[in-house]
Amino acid sequence: MSLDGFIAGPGHTMDWGGGRPLAGFVAPDDLAEIAAATGSMLIGRRTWDVGSRMEAEEPGSVDYPFSGPFFLLTHRPLEPPDPDVTILSGDIGDAVATALDAAGGKSLEILGADVASQCLERGLVDEILVYVLPVLLGAGIPFSSPGLARVDLEPVSSARSGDATILRFRVRK
Ligand SMILES: NC(=O)c1ccc[n+]([C@@H]2O[C@H](COP(=O)([O-])OP(=O)(O)OC[C@H]3O[C@@H](n4cnc5c(N)ncnc54)[C@H](OP(=O)(O)O)[C@@H]3O)[C@@H](O)[C@H]2O)c1
């Protein structure tokens, strides 16, 4: 996230690292540690499509060190289908339960502002983990969906990691 709260630029652009890959702002050991604590991922379709576009334009540009099960929330099939991805649709609570079940006791990581906001609204999020990058974007896709009701958080940790700051909060329920 940029310091002013955007997770993508206008039009879902993800080239806002000033020529650097976004993951390159974070210390590799910290990324590896967080990925190792992750058992599965639940991803929104727009996040998936942006990641696929980036990978097609520049292979290797989506370089998160995670290799567990992926669950994609979407109303539309993937073209072509991807045997490594499970498509889910409908109730967000059922989707989280399915993806969490596959995490083998580790964390379920949720990606996408719309999907994460749905989970926050339903009280399904335990923690928010943010990598703050040292830039002000001025415009773009905000961290949470407009209209999300107030969510109170408890600070857990904040730490410098490479050129980023990692913030961790527990969601008060
Ligand atoms: N900076 C970062 O680290 C970071 C991380 C994650 C994402 N992002 C950026 O955030 C943007 C995407 O976030 P977003 O909030 O726009 O969208 P999103 O949460 O990634 O995806 C939303 C889409 O997922 C599908 N969906 C959501 N809930 C569903 C449900 N219950 N059942 C079935 N389908 C469901 C719908 O797609 P369909 O109806 O079309 O199927 C919906 O339009 C992208 O620009 C991405 O690059 C940035």
Cα distances (Å, whole numbers) of residue 128 to 45, 57, 86, 123, 170: 20, 30, 24, 12, 6
pLDDT at position 59, please? 81
pLDDT at position 98, please? 98
DSSP character at residue 74: -
Claim: this prediction has a pTM higher than 0.85: yes
171 pairs with which residues across the strands? 153
Nearest one of 101, 145, 147, 153 to 125, comparing CA atoms: 153
pLDDT at position 116, please? 97
Q: Whose CA is nearest to atom 31 of ligand 1?
A: 90
Lining residues, ligand 1, CB within 6 Å: 7-8, 12, 14, 44-47, 50, 73-76, 89-90, 92, 111-115, 118, 141
Q: Which residues of the chain have pLDDT under 50?
A: none
Q: Whose CA is nearest to atom 21 of ligand 1?
A: 44
pLDDT at position 112, please? 96
pLDDT at position 16, please? 94
